[in-house]
């Protein structure tokens, strides 16, 4: 057991939240019980996750995608009101870490993907507001596109969107989880054979085809499952907490 204040201070320091510019608040978003014994992690704040966390007796729900974003309305109504009501009635804390969790060099979404694909993290990649979100990964040996996509299916599940316009084999692979199709240009500039992200956007098709680089979108939710799990496991080990990751399926 640890106090919520101590846990928040530790996580904020660990993830260097003060040094990373984001478009969402990082750390505690809804403050509940002052002590934390049981931690539930999930990708995105949603009613289904909160209900499942309550059933598990969670004091704290830790997510990658929180409830508040800079460009969203400040009126509390609809789904936001329902979620807040649930958290407040159950005295449960919500904590969220967005970009600081994407880019952490040990626990982050991107390094977790690179490690699981057995890619060596090399050159920094994914420049956003003066911070790099990820790395260029290097495969030990060249892979055919079909071999690499097979690894993605095994890792993430589902069927990735593949734009097969790059070289016959791939070895230098740029990775950025979530919604980062605009980083395809940087991937090409840094000599990547393939860019792996979570989502696609209309311009990537022609850019990938004309610049002869593979583009793969494996799903926003799927590519951002691992960081919050790693952070939850780290906090559980550090402070002797009970921890459970709950996956609320999302096909997007």
pLDDT tens-digit readout, 40-93: 999 999 999 999 999 999 999 999 999 999 989 989 999 999 999 999 999 999
Residues 116 and 90 in one domain: no
Tell whether 157 is covered by a domain: yes
Tell whether 227 is covered by a domain: no
pLDDT reported for residue 64: 98
Q: Contact, 181 vs 197, CB < 8 A?
A: yes
Instruction: Please provide the DSSP assignment of 90-144 as one string.
Output: TT-EEEE-SHHHHS-TTTSHHHHHHHHTT-EEEEEEEEETTEEEEEEEEEEEEEE
- Decide if pLDDT at 238 tops 90: yes
How many Å apart are CA 223 and CA 220, to the nearest integer? Answer: 5
| End residue of a domain, out of 75, 97, 119 | 97
Tell whether 229 is covered by a domain: no
Query: Tokens 């680089």 correspond to what residue?
Result: 213
Nearest to 22 by CA among 59, 58, 71: 71
Q: What's the mean per-residue pLDDT of the chain?
A: 97
Strand partners, 228: none
In the chain, the number of structural domains is 2
- Decide if pLDDT at 234 tops 90: yes
CATH for 198:
3.40.1390.30
Write the pLDDT tens digit of every residue in 146-187: 999 999 999 999 999 999 999 999 999 999 999 999 999 999
Tell whether 225 is covered by a domain: no
Residue numbers of the domain that contains 61: 2-97
- Decide if pLDDT at 130 tops 90: no
pLDDT reported for residue 129: 87
pLDDT reported for residue 49: 98
């Amino acid at each position: 057991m640890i106090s919520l204040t101590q846990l928040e201070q530790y996580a904020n320091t660990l993830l260097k939240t003060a040094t990373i510019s984001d478009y969402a608040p990082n750390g505690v978003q809804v403050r509940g019980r002052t002590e934390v014994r049981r931690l539930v992690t999930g990708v995105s704040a949603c009613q289904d996750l909160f209900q499942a966390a309550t059933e598990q007796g969670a004091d704290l729900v830790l997510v990658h995608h929180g409830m508040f974003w800079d460009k969203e309305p400040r009126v509390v109504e609809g789904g936001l009101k329902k979620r807040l009501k649930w958290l407040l009635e159950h005295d449960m804390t919500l904590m969220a870490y967005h970009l600081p969790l994407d880019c952490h060099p040990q626990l982050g979404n991107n390094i977790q993907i690179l490690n699981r694909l057995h890619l060596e993290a090399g050159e920094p990649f994914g420049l956003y507001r003066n911070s790099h979100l990820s790395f260029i990964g290097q495969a030990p040996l060249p892979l055919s596109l079909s071999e690499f996509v097979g690894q993605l299916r095994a890792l993430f599940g589902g069927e990735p969107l593949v734009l097969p316009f790059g070289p016959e084999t791939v070895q230098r692979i740029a990775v950025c989880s979530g919604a980062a199709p605009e980083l395809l240009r940087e991937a090409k500039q840094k000599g990547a054979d393939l860019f792996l992200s979570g989502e696609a956007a209309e311009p990537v098709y022609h850019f990938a085809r004309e610049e002869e680089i593979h583009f793969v979108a494996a799903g926003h939710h799927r590519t951002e499952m691992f960081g919050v799990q790693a952070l939850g496991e780290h906090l559980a080990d550090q402070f002797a907490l009970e921890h459970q990751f709950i996956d609320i399926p999302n096909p997007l």
